[in-house]
Amino acid sequence: MSVLDRYALSRRRLLNVFGASALTALAIPLESGKALAQVAFRTYPFQLGVASGDPSPDGFVIWTRLAPEPFEIGYGMPMAPVAVEWEVGDSANMRTVVAKGTAIAPPELGHAVHVEVGGLQPGRDYWYRFTVGKERSLTGRARTTPALGAALDRVRFAVSGCQHYEQGYYTAYRRLAEDNPDFVFCYGDYIYEGRGNRVWNSASGPNENARQHFGGEIYSLDDYRRRYAQYKMDADLQAAHAAAPWFVVWDDHETDNNWVGDLDQDGADPKLFNLRRQAAAQAYYEAMPLRASSFPAGTAIQIYRRAAYGQLLNLNLLDTRQFRTDQPCGDKYAASCAEIDSPKAEVIGQTQEKWLNDGLTGSKATWNVIAQQVMMMDLDREPGGGRNVNPDSWAGYSIPRTRLLKSIRDHKVGNVVVLTGDEHQNFAGDLYIDGAKAEGAPIASEFVVTSITSGGDGVDQRADMAKVQAGNPMLKFNNSQRGYAICDVTPKAFVTEFKVLDAVTRKDGKLSTRAKWALEAGKPGIVQA
């Protein structure tokens, strides 16, 4: 029995979605005995754009998804696999094709396509596109990493995340695309799981959302698929994906706010929450340019991984959600309790921690980057009244935090830079075992990059941050506008440029550089550039 027969597509369904020409489509046998659907689309099937990711010296992943009806269950696709042609060229005009093939968009993955392209040259740009029937996608740019161990003069990349759809427009992503980075590190919160709301209540009072989520809070696979579709339909986000390869990791909102392990914020039965986790993991893989090594198995998905940029930079991508123990102090912000010092606490789990330590201590790169989700600086959030931390950050887990920093210090791992998101603010500071004392040389430095939109327009300086800045000697800079960062890395320096918009609740927000902070190779501690 063919796949088309097994799913018993109705004549009416074919007519409604694909038009009369679909009724004459042929079924081409596959080696597995299944059949491919050949369809003529009534509406453009590449509405969610294209993307590339996880580059290596000889290739990268290229991604797309067939979604002629993005808000319908199944995206308006037949319940059958569809053949998608792909091409990689050595120039933007695609005149010289250096690799091509046919990929299968399976219904089991919501007709997402992940192609792991290989056999390319290291350290150079390529362009790619997809075709199905008479329809062609836009052309995206990807870039391979340099050859292993190669001397490298420079790598320039972007950092972004926290892109709440309702709270602003993705103008920052259009500007990021124009910056033409070598790659993008997305630290997470690619989607937000909450229901659609006309207004949201901020610290300054009610604000009308710039736009609105489709539907209620998301729980099922179909729910998550539609939410990713709504985000990916944004042309500015599509431009950023098409401009450069991305390294993606998730944080909490891709599943549920502040989740860790098999625990959600509402105290749901872990068995039930794991069903939601499973749907979220599958939807995340489907929507991201990830390799098959990240293919989910139940609730589990391989997020932590490593990439190298010659001798210049090692990129260690972490997962601070799947293996973490419950937040201390009832997850109450600016809290203080004995659980913060629990010897059983974990942030990344023992296996990932060993993997990270081995990668750091064995690195021969000039710069060792830890690219992750939640702040590692142990900020006192309410100075003057004891130790009041954000329990959803590394500061709420003093034992694993101290263990990691001591390992970096004791093994004399040089030039460690931590890249973080989550806070919806820009921060620049240094890392000590006890940041309140800030004694001796810093062990590492951290750049926390603000949100693309989450939190709305923001302000240059939040009223509460003057006290936080004054009470935390490790913190050198803070800002509460929206935007992204560009990291410009050479053998001599690691410079982070914080780029901010004056507004995200309108589409014409103006971009500017708010500040630059730098590390000089071999000299601990950040300085203003």
Tokens of 94: 């695609």
Gap between the Cα atoms of 475 and 460, Å rounded: 16
Gap between the Cα atoms of 35 and 3, Å rounded: 6
What 298-302 contacts at long range (C-beta under 8 Å, 24+ apart), as own/partner pairs, is 298/274, 299/262, 299/274
Gap between the Cα atoms of 414 and 363, Å rounded: 9
Angle subtended at Cα 317 by Cα 47 and Cα 294, rounded to the nearest 5 degrees: 55
Closest among 428, 317, 427 to 372, alpha carbons compared: 317
Check residue 36 and give its pLDDT.
76
Neighbouring C-alpha atoms within 13 Å toward the C-beta of 523 = 9
Q: Which residue type is seen at 195?
A: R
Distance of CA 317 to the CA centre of its chain: 10
Domains, the chain, ranges and CATH? 3-143 (2.60.40.380), 155-528 (3.60.21.70)
Residue given tokens 């590394």 in the structure block:
394
330 in Cβ contact with 385 (< 8 Å):
no
Check residue 203 and give its pLDDT.
75
Tokens of 339: 């659980």
Q: Which residue type is seen at 328?
A: P
User: Quick one: 269 exposed, middle or buried, by C-beta within 10 A (0-12, 13-18, 19+)?
Assistant: exposed
Check residue 7 and give its pLDDT.
33
| pTM higher than 0.75 | yes
Residue given tokens 């579709």 in the structure block:
229
CA dihedral 485, 426, 206, 169 (to 10 degrees): 0
444 in Cβ contact with 452 (< 8 Å):
no
199 in Cβ contact with 210 (< 8 Å):
no
Gap between the Cα atoms of 497 and 513, Å rounded: 7
pLDDT tens, the chain, 529 aa long: 333 333 333 334 334 444 433 332 323 334 455 667 677 899 999 999 999 999 999 999 999 999 999 999 999 999 999 999 999 999 999 999 999 999 999 999 999 999 999 999 999 999 999 999 999 999 999 999 999 999 999 999 999 999 999 999 999 999 999 999 999 999 999 999 999 999 988 777 888 999 999 999 999 999 999 999 999 999 999 999 999 999 999 999 999 999 999 999 999 999 999 999 999 999 999 999 999 999 999 999 999 999 999 999 999 999 999 999 999 999 999 989 999 999 999 999 999 999 999 999 999 999 999 999 999 999 999 998 788 999 999 999 999 999 999 999 999 999 999 999 999 999 999 999 999 899 999 999 999 999 999 999 999 999 999 999 999 999 999 999 999 999 999 999 999 999 999 999 999 999 999 999 999 999 999 999 9
